[in-house]
Structure 1
Amino acid sequence: MSDVKEGEKAPDFSLPVAEGRDFSLADAKGKSLVLYFYPKDDTKGCTVEAIAFTALAGAFEEAGAIVIGVSPDTLQSHARFEKKHDLAVLLGADEDHSVAEAYGVWKEKSMYGRKFMGIERSTFLIGPDGVIEKIWRKVKVDGHAEAVLAEVRGEG
């Protein structure tokens, strides 16, 4: 499990997204990529975060950025999540958590005294050249999408 850093080349990846397509780092070439990792579809924080990124989808597009959310959920789960909340961001299925591991966000977590492995909510802003420009770890959802957009626009 690597710990990627700002200023380094982003680890390459390819993930299944909707409609039987895959999305890879190369698909973002020449654009900024907001790669946000979240623990689980249709849970409170993850839903608030996805809706916030969706609300700003047009602004991210205008700023030349692609937004993709990644969790270990299946494509079927993502499809239900997208439909239920009318989401307008790509959702990648990282069922084997290989991408989460490559970005160092697959961590031991603890809830109610039980330890388990899961996603640490994190966001990576990858520049048009494939270099990581900014990393947010242990993200607090409120105001996060707006902070990421400000960074994409160079206002951060």
Structure 2
Amino acid sequence: MISKGEKIDTDFTLNVVENGKEKEVQFSNLLTRPTIVSVYMRNNTSGCDKQNRSLAEHADEFDKKGFNLVALSKDTCGSHKNYAEKLDINYTLASDPDFKFANATDSIVEKKMYGKTFDAPSRSAFIIDTDGTVLGVIEKINTKAHAEELFELIETL
């Protein structure tokens, strides 16, 4: 996994949902100010719902502190639109079915489910500066208190 102080390659595109609208963006264009990227597995699952509810409840506070907020999963933008409505999400949801962000941050891990082993992005969070420099990393997210752990990390920057 990429470490604090290292730069990621921001030269890739993602489809995102912002303010209910879908668009394709260069990842670097999401970095208009320091940006929190919170990686989760799938919309409408218990842990991921907790993770995103925590972010949604505190999204305005992150904005006031000067941070963009992006939550990223492999779900489609169509699914993201419904999910944003359901959880009242007012931050960017990014669709990354090809794991472009996970490859850029070297955060693909081996997982097991129902006796099968597969590789997928880790449930982690990154604070990335406008030039792609990683300012902080949470390698294993506490889904219930995700916003709180991000605020604690921000205080150390």
TM over 0.5: yes
Check whether the contact 2:56–2:87 (CA below 8 A) recurs between aligned residues: no
- The aligned length equals 152
- After TM superposition, the runs of 4+ consecutive aligned structure 1 residues lying more than 3 A away are none
Q: Distance in 2 between matches of 1:78 and 1:60?
A: 21
Check whether the contact 1:120–1:137 (CA below 8 A) recurs between aligned residues: yes
Structure 2 partner of 1:131: 133
Structure 2 partner of 1:9: 7
Of the structure 1 ranges 85-94 and 105-114, higher mean CA displacement relative to structure 2 is found in 105-114
Check whether the contact 1:50–1:89 (CA below 8 A) recurs between aligned residues: no
Q: Compute the TM-score of the two structures, normalised by the length of structure 2.
A: 0.87
Check whether the contact 2:41–2:123 (CA below 8 A) recurs between aligned residues: yes
Secondary structure, counterpart of 2:78 in structure 1: helix
Query: What does 1:63-82 align with in structure 2 at a 5 Å threshold?
Result: 63-82=65-84
Q: Compute the TM-score of the two structures, normalised by the length of structure 1.
A: 0.87
Q: Distance in 2 between matches of 1:61 and 1:120?
A: 25
* Gap regions ≥5 residues in structure 2: none
Residue 58 (structure 1) aligned with residue 60 (structure 2)? yes
Check whether the contact 1:16–1:92 (CA below 8 A) recurs between aligned residues: yes
Q: Post-superposition shift, 1:129?
A: 4.2
What is the CA RMSD across the aligned residues, in angstroms?
A: 1.8
Check whether the contact 2:51–2:145 (CA below 8 A) recurs between aligned residues: no
Check whether the contact 1:71–1:92 (CA below 8 A) recurs between aligned residues: yes
Q: Distance in 1 between matches of 2:30 and 2:88?
A: 23
Residue 28 (structure 1) aligned with residue 31 (structure 2)? yes
